[in-house]
């Protein structure tokens, strides 16, 4: 039985990855930040099947202690400040955890279990202001927020530890990936949550920014499968993971409200506070390398993803209000 260590296990990706690895008959160990205020609702069905241990990406000694105890064969680093706007409010914390925390993790692995395999959760935010769409692994980076900058630092540290220390370390450059487990601060979950609330008379309007903004949206469950494929490939490498499709916020609204038999135009209002200008070259993934080399393909496409999220939101409503 292989042992996998997951940082960020309480989040969207971490919980889906834990479920996936348990199905593969792994022993799953999750890092739990000592001062964490996060809930464990997505891990409750798994609580008897996984181990949670205290460790901190800001304290290398705690990481080394966990690696000494469990000696995992696979390490998935999904922890960090994960909401780009928040990184402007907490740029130092973002840098210390999302950037330097990865270096501490790599150092701990090098010292304790150098034969393990390391996955780093990189982000399309590293591209920022790009000069082409779609983007591939050779597209130049130009991050435009502390989150993207921190992720880029971590990406290059992974690449350098792979070469200099001969570690098996891979980065997955993931584009937007959603699910019913997304936080309400993200526009996709904000839309699906509001659609159900409006249908039930609990909300009147939904305020959004630029409805023409485009994104490459996929399903988080598909993307954690790609993480596993990277660590079980014959050589360590970096891969772009995305749907390869571009959709607007307006399309997302239209589909989500249609799922509850409403017309989004009757309820969505534009609020300048949320407005983001259109990008000349939107972030769209060229996933050809991952498809060809890893054999990965997204299974849940855009329309199915929106339906899945609305249906889950409806289930939460029924459980909460109708018992």
Cite the active site residues: 123, 125, 147
Backbone angles phi, psi at 157, to 5 degrees: -65, -40
Sequence-distant (6+) residues with CB within 8 A of 194 are: 203, 206, 267
The Cα 58–Cα 62 span in angstroms is 9
Label the pairing between strands 214-215 and 247-248.
Answer: antiparallel
22, two tokens: 């348990």
The Cα 35–Cα 54 span in angstroms is 9
The number of beta carbons lying within 10 Å of the beta carbon of residue 50 is: 20
The Cα 158–Cα 54 span in angstroms is 24
Sequence-distant (6+) residues with CB within 8 A of 265 are: none
Cβ atoms of residues 72 and 24 within 8 Å? no
Cβ atoms of residues 208 and 270 within 8 Å? yes
Cβ atoms of residues 268 and 208 within 8 Å? yes
Cβ atoms of residues 188 and 217 within 8 Å? yes
65, two tokens: 């202690």
């Amino acid at each position: 039985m292989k042992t996998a260590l997951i940082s960020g296990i309480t989040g969207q990706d971490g919980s889906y990855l834990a479920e996936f690895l348990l199905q593969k008959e792994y022993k799953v160990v999750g890092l739990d930040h000592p001062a964490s205020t996060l809930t464990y609702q997505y891990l409750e069905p798994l609580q008897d099947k996984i181990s949670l241990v205290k460790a901190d990406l800001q304290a290398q000694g705690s990481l080394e202690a966990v690696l000494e105890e469990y000696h995992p064969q696979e390490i998935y680093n999904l922890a960090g400040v994960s909401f780009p706007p928040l990184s402007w409010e907490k740029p130092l914390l973002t840098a210390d955890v999302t950037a330097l925390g990865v270096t501490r993790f790599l150092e701990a692995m090098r010292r304790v279990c150098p034969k393990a395999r390391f996955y780093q959760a990189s982000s399309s935010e590293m591209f920022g202001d790009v000069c082409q769409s779609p983007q591939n692994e050779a597209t130049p980076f130009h991050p435009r927020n502390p989150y993207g900058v921190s992720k880029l630092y971590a990406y290059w540290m992974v690449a350098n530890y792979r070469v200099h220390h001969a570690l098996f370390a891979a980065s997955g450059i993931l584009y937007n990936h959603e699910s019913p487990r997304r936080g309400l601060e993200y526009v996709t979950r904000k839309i699906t949550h509001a659609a159900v609330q409006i249908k039930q008379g609990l909300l009147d309007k939904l305020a959004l920014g630029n409805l023409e903004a485009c994104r490459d949206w996929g399903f988080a469950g598909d993307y954690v499968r790609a993480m596993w494929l990277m660590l079980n490939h014959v050589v360590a490498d970096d891969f772009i993971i995305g749907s390869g499709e571009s959709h607007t916020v307006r399309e997302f609204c239209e589909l989500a409200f249609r799922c509850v038999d409403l017309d989004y135009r009757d309820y969505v209002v534009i609020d300048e506070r949320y407005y983001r200008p259109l990008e000349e070259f939107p972030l769209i993934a060229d996933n050809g390398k991952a498809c060809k080399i890893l054999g990965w393909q997204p299974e849940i496409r855009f329309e199915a993803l929106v339906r899945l999220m609305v249906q889950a939101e409806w289930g939460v409503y029924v459980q909460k209000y109708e018992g």
